[in-house]
A and B are shown apart, each in its own frame.
Chain A
């Protein structure tokens, strides 16, 4: 069984402790999100899990066969056109060039890009289109684990929903797992099986929320109800410092 196991993970930047004693397990087919305020060490945690940073204390065991990463800001190669950008993940895996391009074109169409966009460079794409390319690039490799670094934060609500649907499809078809960081609670409730609440200074997990309803069966009403409920939670209020707002 493929899984990602994080045990007693602690991380420092210089003398500042960023993460303190983090423990969790992500199983196959599961969507796990880490929520918390900005600057709470979420990105560091994600980068450690994705192997972009070296683990100092504790351990991370990743037995997933393949991983992919969708970034907050597209991070497309400015000198490559849309299709070549999508194909880089496949090419890095050693896929043949024409095969990779064919797959990239197919997924680009699925992600709502037009054929006339294929030869455009990132400078000519809108923010939404860049993010479509970003997702297509990650999902075309059919990863068994996908890392998401708040990739929805600058998108309009329609595009968000479209990309949610693509993600849930991939989860179902390929039994893909997702490790997802966000500061948007509603988004976390919509997609995740499990939510970890990360409190800052240093980043540590204070509470875990679990949702049993399958994520493709969650109605809008369910999401709003759960969001309202979670906002009453004492730990949530504490972590996001919601009570200071009331004082004002």
Chain B
């Protein structure tokens, strides 16, 4: 509770530090507009036109429904990866044999391109939620798993000995010695897993479903409707930026104050 309060208290200062980020975003939009002036509206619609299209789209209930569908798939997929990736990663980290055995499997999972998984999933599950969720899990699970595994593998033996010599209870050992260290590994893994999930969900939808934002993007492509396509991309990017910079980053800063 105290911790939550501290995050909220430091939040304005954190927002204030965001001027640089805003400036570079505006610079990016300026370059985008330059691209529009050079290549014309069909190839690259102007930011203004894109934002206008976006505004009209957001009035439409159907668009929100599509966003909902995508959100649902991404969160179920990411939630499953989070749960199983963290738990299995921790278990694998605590046992040397398990971590040795899991390494090649993780390499296969990381190395296999998601697009190949989509093809397999389409054969296994057909066109629907399961295919998308499966692909999301397959793509973000290994990232989280490796984060948890690394966190447990790299626990400091010297600190364990210190805890032993002072007779820490198991509760203290876990919360004061193991948890902060593991968390400093697993939390960034969650963040990159989330980014991965959000990217993969769109790709899987584009190829394997007839609804969701990915499918909308496919329709925009077939109609050469570049403003809509860019508006959709804008929704994806802003939502990801919101989660990363407004929700996760402040938590990360508080949690990792102790880091050099």
Residues of chain A whose beta carbon lies under 8 Å from any beta carbon of chain B = 47, 50-52, 67-69, 71, 73, 75, 77-80, 88-89, 91-93, 121-123, 137, 141, 147
Known: A92-B169, A123-B259, A123-B260. A77 touches B164 (CB 8 A): no
The count of residues in chain B whose C-beta lies closer than 8 Å to any C-beta of chain A is: 20
Given known pairs A73-B158, A123-B259, the reply for A93 and B176 (CB within 8 Å) is no
Chain A residues contacting B259 (CB-CB under 8 Å) are 78, 123
Q: Which residue of A lies closest to B256 (CB)?
A: A79
What's the dominant secondary structure at chain B's contact region?
A: helix
CB distance from A69 to the nearest CB of B (A): 4
Flag if B158 contacts A69 (CB, 8 Å): no
A88 partner, pick from B158, B166, B180, B257, beta carbons under 8 A: B166
> Measured between alpha carbons, how far is A196 from B259 in the docked complex, in Å?
41
> B62 at the A/B interface (Cβ < 8 Å)?
no
**What is the distance, in angstroms, from B170's C-beta to the closest C-beta of chain A?**
11
Q: Is the CB of A93 within 8 A of B167?
A: yes
B165 touches A91 (CB 8 A): no
Q: A88-B176, A89-B166, A123-B258 are in contact. List 18 more A-B contacts (CB 8 A).
A: A51-B164, A51-B165, A52-B165, A68-B165, A68-B166, A69-B165, A69-B166, A71-B162, A75-B161, A77-B159, A77-B176, A77-B177, A79-B180, A80-B176, A92-B166, A92-B169, A93-B167, A123-B259
Closest to A137 in B: B166
Nearest Cβ in chain B — how far from A47, in angstroms?
8
B168 contacts the other chain (CB 8 A): yes
In the complex, residue of chain A having the shortest beta-carbon distance to the beta carbon of B162: A75
Q: Counting CB contacts under 8 A, is B172 at the interface?
A: yes
Contact assessment for B164 and A79 in the assembled complex, using a CB-CB cutoff below 8 Å: no
- How far apart sit A217 and B32, CA to CA, in the bound complex (Å)? 80
* 6 cross-chain pairs, A with B, having the tightest CB-CB distances, nearest first: A69-B165, A79-B180, A79-B258, A121-B258, A75-B162, A123-B260
The answer to whether A92 and B161 touch across the interface, beta carbons within 8 angstroms, is: no
A77 → chain B, closest Cβ, in Å? 6
A121 CA to B168 CA, complexed, in Å: 21
- Say how far B172's CB is from chain A's closest CB, in angstroms: 6
Q: Closest residue of chain B to A122, judged by CB? A: B258
Residues of A within 8 A of B159 (CB): 75, 77
Chain A: minimal CB distance from B178 (Å): 11
Quick one: which of A52, A79, A80 contacts B161, CB cutoff 8 A? Answer: A52
